[in-house]
Amino acid sequence: MILSLTGVGKAYETGGTRVEVLRGVDLAIGPGETVALTGESGSGKSTLLHLCAGLDRADSGRIEVAGQDLTDAPDPRLSALRRQTVGLVFQQFNLIPSLDVAANLAFQARLAGRHDPDWIAALADRLGLSALMSRYPEQLSGGQQQRVAIGRALAIRPALLLADEPTGNLDEATGDAVMDLMLELGTEAGAGLLMVTHSPRLAARLGRRVHLAGGRLAA
Protein backbone atom coordinates (compact mmCIF):
# COMPACT_ATOMS: atom_id res chain seq x y z
CA MET A 1 0.00 0.00 0.00
CA ILE A 2 1.13 3.56 -0.74
CA LEU A 3 -1.28 5.10 1.70
CA SER A 4 -3.15 3.45 4.51
CA LEU A 5 -5.31 5.06 7.17
CA THR A 6 -6.83 3.20 10.09
CA GLY A 7 -9.24 4.81 12.55
CA VAL A 8 -7.92 8.31 11.97
CA GLY A 9 -9.52 10.99 14.13
CA LYS A 10 -9.00 14.75 14.22
CA ALA A 11 -10.68 17.55 16.12
CA TYR A 12 -10.23 21.32 16.12
CA GLU A 13 -10.46 23.39 19.21
CA THR A 14 -11.85 26.87 18.68
CA GLY A 15 -12.80 29.20 21.46
CA GLY A 16 -13.45 26.41 23.92
CA THR A 17 -15.64 24.35 21.63
CA ARG A 18 -14.32 21.17 20.13
CA VAL A 19 -15.25 20.26 16.59
CA GLU A 20 -14.69 16.62 15.73
CA VAL A 21 -13.94 16.71 12.04
CA LEU A 22 -12.74 13.16 11.49
CA ARG A 23 -13.97 10.28 13.63
CA GLY A 24 -12.32 7.10 12.54
CA VAL A 25 -11.38 7.23 8.88
CA ASP A 26 -10.13 4.07 7.17
CA LEU A 27 -8.65 4.19 3.70
CA ALA A 28 -6.10 2.30 1.63
CA ILE A 29 -4.64 3.31 -1.75
CA GLY A 30 -2.27 1.12 -3.79
CA PRO A 31 0.29 2.11 -6.47
CA GLY A 32 -1.31 3.48 -9.61
CA GLU A 33 -4.70 3.67 -7.94
CA THR A 34 -6.71 6.90 -8.33
CA VAL A 35 -9.24 7.89 -5.67
CA ALA A 36 -11.66 10.83 -5.62
CA LEU A 37 -12.56 12.26 -2.22
CA THR A 38 -15.88 14.09 -2.09
CA GLY A 39 -17.99 15.59 0.63
CA GLU A 40 -19.86 18.70 1.62
CA SER A 41 -18.04 21.88 2.30
CA GLY A 42 -16.64 21.78 5.79
CA SER A 43 -16.83 18.02 6.00
CA GLY A 44 -13.09 17.70 6.54
CA LYS A 45 -11.66 16.78 3.13
CA SER A 46 -8.78 19.22 3.28
CA THR A 47 -8.08 18.19 6.84
CA LEU A 48 -7.79 14.57 5.81
CA LEU A 49 -5.51 15.41 2.93
CA HIS A 50 -3.23 17.47 5.14
CA LEU A 51 -2.91 14.59 7.56
CA CYS A 52 -1.92 12.24 4.74
CA ALA A 53 0.79 14.67 3.62
CA GLY A 54 2.23 14.93 7.11
CA LEU A 55 1.39 18.63 7.16
CA ASP A 56 -0.58 18.18 10.36
CA ARG A 57 -0.93 15.42 12.94
CA ALA A 58 -3.89 13.18 13.62
CA ASP A 59 -5.29 12.96 17.15
CA SER A 60 -5.87 9.25 16.95
CA GLY A 61 -5.49 6.32 14.55
CA ARG A 62 -2.65 5.48 12.28
CA ILE A 63 -1.42 6.81 8.94
CA GLU A 64 1.20 5.08 6.84
CA VAL A 65 2.73 6.52 3.69
CA ALA A 66 4.91 4.25 1.61
CA GLY A 67 5.40 2.01 4.58
CA GLN A 68 6.33 4.84 6.98
CA ASP A 69 4.24 5.39 10.07
CA LEU A 70 3.50 9.09 10.47
CA THR A 71 1.92 8.86 13.91
CA ASP A 72 4.90 9.74 16.05
CA ALA A 73 7.38 10.74 13.35
CA PRO A 74 9.40 13.83 14.34
CA ASP A 75 9.16 16.98 12.31
CA PRO A 76 12.34 16.40 10.25
CA ARG A 77 11.05 12.93 9.24
CA LEU A 78 7.75 14.39 8.11
CA SER A 79 9.61 17.07 6.16
CA ALA A 80 11.78 14.47 4.50
CA LEU A 81 8.71 12.46 3.59
CA ARG A 82 7.13 15.48 1.94
CA ARG A 83 10.30 16.20 0.03
CA GLN A 84 10.90 12.68 -1.17
CA THR A 85 7.64 10.82 -1.46
CA VAL A 86 4.62 13.10 -1.68
CA GLY A 87 3.55 15.31 -4.52
CA LEU A 88 1.21 18.07 -3.40
CA VAL A 89 -1.15 20.27 -5.36
CA PHE A 90 -3.43 22.74 -3.63
CA GLN A 91 -6.31 24.74 -4.96
CA GLN A 92 -4.17 27.87 -5.19
CA PHE A 93 -1.03 29.59 -3.94
CA ASN A 94 1.11 26.57 -4.64
CA LEU A 95 4.02 28.40 -6.15
CA ILE A 96 6.95 30.22 -4.66
CA PRO A 97 6.43 33.81 -5.69
CA SER A 98 10.09 34.75 -5.74
CA LEU A 99 11.13 32.05 -8.21
CA ASP A 100 10.41 31.82 -11.92
CA VAL A 101 8.57 28.91 -13.54
CA ALA A 102 11.70 26.93 -14.31
CA ALA A 103 12.94 27.24 -10.75
CA ASN A 104 9.51 26.42 -9.34
CA LEU A 105 9.26 23.31 -11.50
CA ALA A 106 12.62 22.02 -10.40
CA PHE A 107 12.37 23.17 -6.80
CA GLN A 108 11.11 20.06 -5.08
CA ALA A 109 13.13 17.69 -7.22
CA ARG A 110 16.27 19.56 -6.29
CA LEU A 111 15.29 19.57 -2.63
CA ALA A 112 14.79 15.84 -2.87
CA GLY A 113 18.14 15.46 -4.63
CA ARG A 114 16.43 13.90 -7.61
CA HIS A 115 16.80 16.58 -10.18
CA ASP A 116 16.34 15.14 -13.65
CA PRO A 117 16.46 17.96 -16.22
CA ASP A 118 15.29 15.76 -19.07
CA TRP A 119 12.27 14.61 -17.16
CA ILE A 120 11.42 18.17 -16.18
CA ALA A 121 11.84 19.36 -19.74
CA ALA A 122 9.53 16.59 -20.86
CA LEU A 123 6.99 17.51 -18.22
CA ALA A 124 7.16 21.19 -19.16
CA ASP A 125 6.61 20.23 -22.74
CA ARG A 126 3.63 18.04 -21.96
CA LEU A 127 2.16 20.68 -19.66
CA GLY A 128 2.63 23.36 -22.31
CA LEU A 129 4.90 25.41 -20.11
CA SER A 130 8.01 25.50 -22.30
CA ALA A 131 7.38 29.06 -23.45
CA LEU A 132 6.71 30.31 -19.94
CA MET A 133 9.82 29.07 -18.19
CA SER A 134 11.27 32.46 -17.30
CA ARG A 135 8.02 34.01 -16.09
CA TYR A 136 7.15 34.58 -12.44
CA PRO A 137 4.00 33.15 -10.82
CA GLU A 138 2.27 36.54 -10.71
CA GLN A 139 2.60 36.74 -14.49
CA LEU A 140 0.70 33.48 -15.05
CA SER A 141 -3.00 32.71 -15.35
CA GLY A 142 -4.65 30.45 -12.78
CA GLY A 143 -4.60 27.43 -15.12
CA GLN A 144 -0.97 27.99 -15.97
CA GLN A 145 -0.11 28.23 -12.28
CA GLN A 146 -1.88 24.94 -11.58
CA ARG A 147 -0.03 23.25 -14.42
CA VAL A 148 3.27 24.42 -12.90
CA ALA A 149 2.19 23.04 -9.52
CA ILE A 150 1.35 19.68 -11.07
CA GLY A 151 4.63 19.62 -12.96
CA ARG A 152 6.53 20.39 -9.78
CA ALA A 153 4.77 17.58 -7.90
CA LEU A 154 5.40 15.08 -10.68
CA ALA A 155 9.03 16.10 -11.10
CA ILE A 156 10.00 14.01 -8.08
CA ARG A 157 8.14 10.97 -9.46
CA PRO A 158 6.13 10.83 -6.21
CA ALA A 159 4.83 7.60 -4.82
CA LEU A 160 1.77 9.47 -3.61
CA LEU A 161 0.10 12.40 -5.32
CA LEU A 162 -2.26 14.46 -3.15
CA ALA A 163 -4.41 17.15 -4.71
CA ASP A 164 -6.93 19.44 -3.03
CA GLU A 165 -9.41 20.73 -5.57
CA PRO A 166 -6.61 21.39 -8.06
CA THR A 167 -9.04 22.68 -10.65
CA GLY A 168 -11.45 24.43 -8.31
CA ASN A 169 -10.45 27.87 -9.49
CA LEU A 170 -10.43 27.05 -13.18
CA ASP A 171 -13.10 27.11 -15.82
CA GLU A 172 -14.42 23.76 -16.99
CA ALA A 173 -12.36 23.40 -20.16
CA THR A 174 -9.11 24.42 -18.51
CA GLY A 175 -9.94 22.26 -15.51
CA ASP A 176 -10.50 19.26 -17.73
CA ALA A 177 -7.22 19.79 -19.54
CA VAL A 178 -5.33 20.05 -16.24
CA MET A 179 -7.12 16.96 -14.95
CA ASP A 180 -6.19 14.96 -18.04
CA LEU A 181 -2.57 15.82 -17.64
CA MET A 182 -2.53 14.92 -13.98
CA LEU A 183 -4.20 11.56 -14.50
CA GLU A 184 -2.11 10.70 -17.50
CA LEU A 185 1.25 11.68 -16.03
CA GLY A 186 0.38 10.39 -12.56
CA THR A 187 -0.56 6.93 -13.67
CA GLU A 188 2.36 6.82 -16.09
CA ALA A 189 4.63 7.39 -13.13
CA GLY A 190 2.80 4.76 -11.13
CA ALA A 191 1.79 7.12 -8.34
CA GLY A 192 -1.20 6.60 -6.08
CA LEU A 193 -3.55 9.59 -6.35
CA LEU A 194 -5.93 11.01 -3.79
CA MET A 195 -7.84 14.00 -5.08
CA VAL A 196 -10.39 16.17 -3.33
CA THR A 197 -13.11 17.43 -5.63
CA HIS A 198 -16.61 18.82 -5.48
CA SER A 199 -17.40 17.85 -8.99
CA PRO A 200 -19.15 14.48 -9.56
CA ARG A 201 -18.14 14.74 -13.20
CA LEU A 202 -14.46 14.82 -12.33
CA ALA A 203 -14.88 12.22 -9.61
CA ALA A 204 -16.33 9.87 -12.15
CA ARG A 205 -13.13 9.95 -14.15
CA LEU A 206 -11.11 8.48 -11.31
CA GLY A 207 -10.79 4.83 -10.45
CA ARG A 208 -12.67 4.98 -7.19
CA ARG A 209 -14.67 7.43 -5.22
CA VAL A 210 -15.00 7.84 -1.43
CA HIS A 211 -17.40 10.20 0.30
CA LEU A 212 -16.68 11.93 3.61
CA ALA A 213 -19.67 12.59 5.83
CA GLY A 214 -20.09 12.76 9.57
CA GLY A 215 -16.37 12.27 9.99
CA ARG A 216 -16.31 8.89 8.30
CA LEU A 217 -15.70 7.61 4.79
CA ALA A 218 -18.29 5.83 2.76
CA ALA A 219 -17.75 4.36 -0.66
Partner 1 sequence: MIRAAFTTLLSHWRRHPLQLAGLFLGLALATALWSGVQAINAEARQSYDRAAAVLSQDRLDSLAAGNGQDFDQKVFLDLRHAGWLVSPVLEGRWSHRGVPVRILGVDPFTLPSGSLPDAVTGQDRATDFLSAEGLAFAAPQTVDELTRIGAEGLPPLVAAEGMAPGILFVDIGVAQRLLRAEGQITRLLVAPDQPLRQRPLSEVAPALVRQTPVEQADMGALTGSFHLNLTAFGFLSFAVGLFIVHSAIGLAFEQRRPIFRTLRALGLPLRTLVGLLAAEIMGFALVAGIAGIALGYVIAAGLLPNVAATLRGLYGATVSGGLSLRPEWALAGLGMALAGAGAAAAQSLWRLARMPVLAPAQPRAWTRASARSLGWQTGLAGLLALIALAAALWGEGLVAGFVLLGALLLSAALVLPGALAMALALGERLSKGVIAQWFWADTRQQLPGLSLALMALLLALSANIGVGTMVSSFRLAFTAWLDQRLPSELYVTARTEDEARRLADWLAPRSDALLPIWKIDGTILGRPGEVYGVADHRTYPDHWPMLLGDQTVWQTLARGEGAIVNEQLWRRAGLHLGDPVPLPGGATRPLVGVYADYGNTRGQVIVGVADLVALYPDIDRLRYAIRTDPAKVPALRDAIEDAFRLPQDHMISQQEVKTISLMVFERTFAVTAALNVLTMGVAGFAMFMSLLTLSTMRLPQLAPVWALGLTRGRLARLELLRALLLAALTMVLAVPVGLLLAWVLLAVINVEAFGWRLPMHLFPKDWLWLGALALVAAALAAAWPAWRLSRLAPVHLLKVFADER
Ligand X SMILES: Nc1ncnc2c1ncn2[C@@H]1O[C@H](COP(=O)(O)OP(=O)(O)OP(=O)(O)O)[C@@H](O)[C@H]1O
Which residues of this chain interact with ligand X, rule CB under 6 A? 12, 14, 19, 21, 39, 41-47
Q: Report the nearest approach of partner 1 to the CB of residue 169 (Å).
A: 10
Alpha-carbon gap, residue 198 to 212, rounded angstroms: 11
Q: Report the nearest approach of partner 1 to the CB of residue 170 (Å).
A: 15
Residues β-bridged to residue 11: 20
The answer to whether the beta carbons of residues 26 and 63 sit under 8 Å apart is: no
**Binding partner at 21 among partner 1, ligand X, Mg ion, none, C-beta below 5 to 8 Å by kind:** ligand X
Sign, CA dihedral 91-37-86-151, equals negative
Q: Report the nearest approach of ligand X to the CB of residue 40 (Å).
A: 7
The answer to whether the beta carbons of residues 28 and 188 sit under 8 Å apart is: no
14/98 with CB nearer ligand X: 14
Q: Residues 148 to 177: which contact partner 1 by CB under 8 A? A: 152, 164
Q: Report the nearest approach of partner 1 to the CB of residue 165 (Å).
A: 10
DSSP secondary structure string, 106-159? HHHHHHTT---HHHHHHHHHHTT-GGGTT--GGGS-HHHHHHHHHHHHHHT--S
Positions that interact with partner 1 (CB under 8 A): 46, 50, 53, 55-56, 75-76, 79-84, 88, 90-99, 103, 106-108, 110-112, 115, 138, 152, 164
